[in-house]
Structure 1
Amino acid sequence: MSLPSQEPSQPVYYKGVKFDANHSPVAMEMAESFEVRDDDVFISAYLKSGTTWTQQIVSLVCADGDISEVCKIPIMQRTPWLETVDKMGTSEPVPKLLEKAPSPRLMKTHLPYYMLPQQAREGKGKIIYCARNVKDVVVSWHNMRRMVIIIPCGTWEENFKEFITPKEAYNGFWWDVIPEYWRHKDDGNMLFIKFEDMKQDLRGHVVKIANFLGKTLSDQRIDEVVANCTFSAMKENPATNFTKDPAFKGKTRNNFEFMRKGEVGDWKNWLTDQQSQTLDAIYREKMKDLDLTFELQ
């Protein structure tokens, strides 16, 4: 997450898709032709779908040193945001900075599949995609917008309507983005996981991710990773919950926290019956040919 400014910024557009102002069309264009290394890892997810959680797991699994020390490094430094411009001092597009980064390079992205680096889509490097049920996504995205000053925020009803409008949805229409990744779930360089499944079995997913990345971890090391990847641990860690970092004081609205609840089923506290039915109807229409389901609790 880049440092928020003091005023909302207009969204940016790339290839007809709307993104928040953290994104950079220059960086997105560079990302498509990005030179991928065999040991690159792309941590991808639709916004508010478990990106930071997956970043934490992957970065700790890949750490060869002391996990407790790695946990102190801000997540945005461990896994830079591919389609942005560096906000930590250089102002360079992140793909440019990554050219000189040592291997293995870990990076996060919210890009739709067809905007990923071409070489990654051709099988080079590894892609870990985390998906989350759409009802919790729309709620979490609304609350994120209530917090981060740089992203314009309407009422709950306005943000909901925008989310279900294909040309207005940030980062692409959920029902277009997730199916595209799902159709590549059996690619040799793709691991498709779900937020809800990680909530049910965090340790199992740490092992699954380690195996996918070709990492052999001892039981003790797996336990250490799991302990540092629980919601409560990450919420209290300024390296993962950036609103715990003193540098962000006064730069969020109403003292909201980046890591809010991390639950499955919070949508029941927000969606009206009509809104829930609207999401169900879109899901039935857009996902009818896919064997992809989500636990809604």
Structure 2
Amino acid sequence: MDLKELPSNVGDDNISEEANSLISSLPLCTDFQGKKLCNYQGCWYKYNTLQGVLNFQRGFEPQDTDIILASFPKSGTTWLKALTSALMERSKNHSFDHHPLLSDSPHGIIPFLELSVYQESSSPNLAKFSSLPRLFSTHMPLHAMHETLKGSPCKIVYLCRNVKDTLISWWFFRSAVNKIEPNRSLVESTFEAFCNGTIYYGPIWEHVLSYWRRSLENPKQVLFMRYEEMKAEPRDQVKRLAEFLGCPFTTEEEDNGLVDEILDFCSLRNLSSLEVNKTKIFNKVDRSIFFRKGEVGDWKNYLNPEMENKLDMIIQEKLQGSGLKF
């Protein structure tokens, strides 16, 4: 990313005069795709995303029963949302024939706070969240929500994924969004952006660590999950998630195979085959591109040894002393 100084006149029709004024005082950069980013409270945002963050910080009033699903982009967010929806809905639906996931995407069912709910206003209509608990999601680092959630016992689930696989997933996703070939030049520029931290919602290290540290301090409020463990031990991890959400599986449900049914229903294979995820649009993006491989270790097919070693060194440096390892 080019950390050159950008013009102070950063007017944007989609953001307020107040936000424009703030942006003009922030560190700015242009990312590897020519998109403008600004650094607010240590995190890089697109200008319209910052507007959503500011609206959230100003207007969100947490309820004790709220559940917030958090992740860095391309870390298994769609899967986590689907699983959470299936777990929370099972008391209402004893079959999957009329499940909400059949008529809406996981991102529609559990919307992003800063990208959807609070994108246009600090006081949105929350009527659709009348049933409790309210389910939200975010890509914000935890420190961006600290003051807003201060004193609230609402639960947060954070899903962490290996940085290298996140990088490759991000490369493919951005290529698909922009309808361009995922070429070598783009993966190299994505790699550099991850390394120097100037990536949308980055630096990824600070993002992950903000939730990791809080999960150690208050494990009853923040559940830290790993994508790789969810893939390796899906039954154990979905039961762990259900327990944390306050809806543990009963012995009868387990004996009747409900855990496996939910895992199958929320699998990449099944979700990607649903008509609602093949033909519709989410935030001006084809829903189908939210489903690719979902594999662990796919980065080995794209990163050379030099890239691998450089990332390993940065990871070791950034996570040193935290107790967190990839």
- 2:325 maps to a residue whose letter is T
> Bigger radius of gyration, 1 or 2?
2
- 1:49 maps to a residue whose letter is S
For residues 309 and 149 of structure 2, the distance between their equivalents in structure 1, rounded to whole angstroms, comes to 37
SS in 1 for 2:44: strand
Q: Please name the residue that 1:65 is paired with.
A: 92
Matches within 5 A, 1:88-237: 92-93=120-121, 96-98=124-126, 101-102=129-130, 103-116=132-145, 118-149=147-178, 155-166=186-197, 168-186=198-216, 187=218, 188-217=220-249, 218-219=253-254, 220=256, 221-237=258-274
Q: Point out the more displaced range, 285-294 or 124-133.
A: 285-294
Closer, same or farther in 2 for the Cα pair 1:227/1:100, shift >3 Å?
A: closer
Closer, same or farther in 2 for the Cα pair 1:269/1:121, shift >3 Å?
A: farther
- 1:61 maps to a residue whose letter is L
1:40-84 deviation digits (Å, cap 9, x = unpaired): 110001111111111111111111322522221322221011112
Q: Deviation of residue 236 (structure 1)?
A: 1.6
Q: Percentage identity across aligned positions? A: 29
SS in 2 for 1:184: helix
Match of 1:82 among 113, 118, 127: 113
Q: Please name the residue that 1:3 is paired with.
A: none
Q: Which has the higher contact order (CA 8 A, sep 6+)?
A: 1
- 1:65 maps to a residue whose letter is K
- 2:124 maps to a residue whose letter is K
For residues 99 and 261 of structure 1, the distance between their equivalents in structure 2, rounded to whole angstroms, comes to 36
Q: Deviation of residue 194 (structure 1)?
A: 0.1
1:2-41 deviation digits (Å, cap 9, x = unpaired): xxxxxx88344351632347x5323211222411111111
**TM-score between both structures, scaled by the size of structure 1:** 0.82
Q: Deviation of residue 267 (structure 1)?
A: 0.6
SS in 2 for 1:182: helix
For residues 222 and 123 of structure 2, the distance between their equivalents in structure 1, rounded to whole angstroms, comes to 21
Match of 2:77 among 29, 51, 58: 51
SS in 2 for 1:32: helix
Residues 67 and 135 in structure 2, CA contact (< 8 A), matched pair in contact too: yes
- 1:127 maps to a residue whose letter is I
Question: How large is the RMSD of aligned CA atoms in angstroms?
Answer: 2.8
**TM-score between both structures, scaled by the size of structure 2:** 0.76
- Runs of 5+ in structure 1 lacking a partner? 1-7
1:140-167 deviation digits (Å, cap 9, x = unpaired): 111111011399x86211121112112x
SS in 2 for 1:84: helix
Aligned residues: 275
Q: Deviation of residue 86 (structure 1)?
A: 5.7
For residues 256 and 78 of structure 1, the distance between their equivalents in structure 2, rounded to whole angstroms, comes to 16
For residues 246 and 9 of structure 1, the distance between their equivalents in structure 2, rounded to whole angstroms, comes to 27
Residues 272 and 288 in structure 2, CA contact (< 8 A), matched pair in contact too: no
Q: Deviation of residue 266 (structure 1)?
A: 0.4
Matched, 1:31 2:60: no
Closer, same or farther in 2 for the Cα pair 1:201/1:86, shift >3 Å?
A: same
For residues 280 and 128 of structure 2, the distance between their equivalents in structure 1, rounded to whole angstroms, comes to 30
- 2:201 maps to a residue whose letter is N
SS in 2 for 1:96: coil
Residues 164 and 299 in structure 2, CA contact (< 8 A), matched pair in contact too: yes
- 1:79 maps to a residue whose letter is I
Residues 51 and 130 in structure 1, CA contact (< 8 A), matched pair in contact too: yes
- 2:324 maps to a residue whose letter is L
For residues 128 and 285 of structure 2, the distance between their equivalents in structure 1, rounded to whole angstroms, comes to 31
For residues 231 and 111 of structure 1, the distance between their equivalents in structure 2, rounded to whole angstroms, comes to 25
Q: Please name the residue that 1:245 is paired with.
A: 279
Residues 40 and 126 in structure 1, CA contact (< 8 A), matched pair in contact too: yes
